[in-house]
Amino acid sequence: MPDTAATLATAARLSAHFRAAGAVPVSADILQPAETLLDLYGEDIRARAYVTRDPVAGEMMLRPDFTVPVVQAHMANGAEPARYTYEGAVFRKQEAPGARAREYLQVGYELFDRTDPAAADAEVFALIATALEGLALRATLRPVTGDIGVLRAAVAGLSLSDHRRAALMRHIWRPARFRALIERFTGRGPLAEARAALTDRLRAAPAQALIAEAGPVIGLRGADEIAARVAALLADADTPPLPAAEVALMNAILSVAMPSRAALEHLRALEWSALAPALDRLARRLDALDARGVDTAALRFEASFGRSSMEYYDGFVFGFVAEGAGLPPVATGGRYDALTAVLGQGRAIPAVGGVIRPALVAALEGAR
């Protein structure tokens, strides 16, 4: 990787590019309250973040990114529309030593604007694309886009109980778990078989009798909570299986990987009414990207792209990948409208943003 001086110089150029587009520079504390992130993402975030405890402030977390604190600040006192840029280190735990950086610099751009979300998506994507085009990179950057909104619309259209639908929505960002749940909801596969064996055992006797048979209650859950969980498991077992035709439609969506205009037509050809509003948004975005000079007939669209990103994205997602370099994406971003509602305490505003990793850019420039 390039040295710190080269990385900082690259970051300064990128930051200047965003400021020239009208973004106001902002900053965020390195230590963030862990409660906010845990409420948003659940305990899974612990596996990727550095958490500590402050005797006064309570549980704190080294910032895993800038978006959440920037959204909090904007929702507290920001004007509309608003454009922000920031530059600083973020921190992520890595499972394997030396695989990826645990601390790295980000330069980002966030746009809050309710007037035309499609145009805002196109602005952020095109601005990051032009920032990267202006650099003497020693590799080809391949842009890839996706749309979490299409996947959410598909899940919303499935013939599922509210409980099962909520589980799938929660695991959109965990592809293996998502696939296992789909299989279980069809009534087939190892998970379904294990569940069937469990429910047969639970039906054999009243819940209170099973609890008494198991011995003293140990842990945080009381007998009433355990009995309620047993009732929920039995109710879920009586839910009709997910129709095979709908599973086939979901598989068809998840497998889409082709140029954006072709992908739009392919998805429309599925003739699934649940997708119509999301596909209309996709069409408007493609038109807005064309207006910005982006060739959407060639721009890659992958329906599964972005499913390993931060879980606040709920619409357009994108990344720029250095082909053959063996590096993480050089730039990533997406839309996160729901996050503003959560952090706005009843207020919400459409928002989209993206980040560039200056160290990767400097490495691809051949800086030393």
Using one digit for the tens of pLDDT, what is the confidence trace for 182-235?
988 887 767 666 666 667 666 666 656 665 566 576 665 666 666 666 666 656
pLDDT tier at 109 (50, 70, 90 boundaries)?
Answer: very high
Only one residue has tokens 């598989």, namely 251
Q: What is the pTM of this model?
A: 0.85
| Cβ–Cβ < 8 Å for 23, 352 | no
Nearest to 150, CA basis, from 252, 293, 297: 252
Helix (H) or strand (E) holding 249: helix 244-254
Euclidean distance between CA atoms 230 and 275, whole angstroms: 35
List strands edge to edge, sheet with 316-322. Answer: 24-25, 82-91, 103-112, 351-356, 331-335, 316-322, 141-147, 300-302, 257-259
Average pLDDT, the chain: 86
Asked whether 253 and 147 are in contact (CB, 8 A), the reply is no
- pLDDT tens for 310-356 read 678 999 999 999 887 678 899 999 999 999 988 887 789 999 999 99
Give residue-wise pLDDT tens across range 243-290: 999 999 999 999 999 999 999 999 999 999 999 999 999 999 999 999
Amino acid type, 225: E
Rounded to the nearest 10°, the torsion over CA 70, 72, 74, 75 is 160
All domains in the chain, ordered by first residue: 4-28+63-154+248-365 (3.30.930.10), 161-243 (no CATH)
24-35 burial by CB neighbour count: b if 16+ within 10 A, else e?
eebebeeebbbe
Q: Could you tell me the pLDDT band of residue 92, with boundaries at 50, 70 and 90? A: confident
Ranges 53-57, 168-172, 255-259: which has the least confidence: 53-57
Rounded to 5 degrees, φ, ψ at 40 are -75, -45
d(CA 314, CA 37): 17
The answer to whether residue 60 scores a pLDDT higher than 80 is yes
